[in-house]
Structure 1
Amino acid sequence: MLKSLSIACVSTLGLFGASFAQAADLTGTWRSIDDKTGFSKAIIEIDKDSNGAYQGKIVKLIPRPGYTPKETCQNCPAPFTNKPTVGLNVLMNLKQDSKIENNFVDGKVLDPLSGNIYSTKVRLSNDNRRLSIRGYVGVSALGRSQTWLREE
């Protein structure tokens, strides 16, 4: 009986550990939502590099009523200057926070409309379907937030 209980506990802990590791994974395809208009802007694909940091690139632009997306990053600093917007790395070097579950820190995010690069932190919702992205200069209070929704 004790042996069965021990196996059950170890199995449960193993499943819990697997679900925790999965819960904090940002890899996949995300739809960015403009914080000012509420319209979808782009589809971003996030992957993890060999150092364990997350990177995200635009794989598709989504036109909204009355606006045609820019095809190149015109105001962006080198090495992004005049690069095609589709394929552009907009999320760089984001790392999982070792202290707070589902939080990611120390990244950079590029706004291809303004050309500005901001420090960023990200929070993944408990259901793994929504990213809250905060881009800021200096301190987090001086910034803007945007929501990205996981695509199927």
Structure 2
Amino acid sequence: MKHLSKSKLPQFAFAACLLLSSAVAWAATDTPVGTWQQVDDQTGKVKSIIQITDNNGELQGKVLQVLISETGPHPVCTKCEGDKKDQPIEGMTIMWGVHKDGDVWDGGKILDPKSGTVYKVKLSISNGGQKLDVHGYVGFSLLGRSQVWIRQQ
């Protein structure tokens, strides 16, 4: 391998970093893993910030911040059942058990803290990884409702 002169080394290092950062950016957009703005499907406003993580192939979603709440700052899940009952929504895991299945992620559950209802969930990426279709349903996936979440930069 030919040695790089000292004058070429900074250019090489810059090019290598650029290539590596491009690969990392691409890899980050082909999966739901990341931080998302939850957009209300009725008002179109960003209601909360959700972080999706991968725990050994299982995706989980946690509420990092509630931006809009009908009950004021730092709302609690009054309609939830079990260990989530009356717990703060910020910091709460609202999605769990989701696994990759071809071009979608499904098999898990998602909690709507407003109603306390737990739905089956299916996720799909669109717009070059910048949008996430979050489809919650009971029974068949044809029934239910969807929200589009926006990847937070």
With normalisation by structure 2, the TM-score equals 0.77
> Which position in structure 2 is the counterpart of 1:90?
94
Taking only the aligned residue pairs, the percentage that are identical comes to 35
Aligned-residue offset at 1:22: 5.1
Task: Find the aligned partners of 2:36 and 2:58 in 1 and give their Cα distance.
Answer: 17
* Alignment pair present for 1:131 and 2:147: no
> Which position in structure 1 is the counterpart of 2:113?
112
| RMSD of aligned alpha carbons | 2.2
Task: Find the aligned partners of 1:70 and 1:111 in 2 and give their Cα distance.
Answer: 16
With normalisation by structure 1, the TM-score equals 0.77
> Which position in structure 2 is the counterpart of 1:78?
82
Contact persistence 1:55–1:92 (CA under 8 A): yes
Task: Find the aligned partners of 1:20 and 1:139 in 2 and give their Cα distance.
Answer: 32
Moved over 4 A (4+): 18-23
* Worse-superposed segment, 66-75 or 127-136: 66-75
The partner residue of 1:53 within 46, 58, 74 is: 58
Task: Find the aligned partners of 2:32 and 2:118 in 1 and give their Cα distance.
Answer: 20
Task: Find the aligned partners of 1:19 and 1:47 in 2 and give their Cα distance.
Answer: 16
Contact persistence 1:23–1:126 (CA under 8 A): no
Aligned-residue offset at 1:63: 2.1
Q: How does 1:7-22 map to 2 (within 5 A)?
A: none
Equivalent pairs, count? 130
* Alignment pair present for 1:40 and 2:46: yes
Structure 1, residues 48-96: CA drift from partner, whole Å, max 9, x if none? 113x1100100011127x8746610000011211110100111111100
Contact persistence 2:110–2:121 (CA under 8 A): yes
Contact persistence 1:130–1:147 (CA under 8 A): yes
Structure 1 gaps, min length 5: 1-17
Matched to 2:89, the amino acid is: T
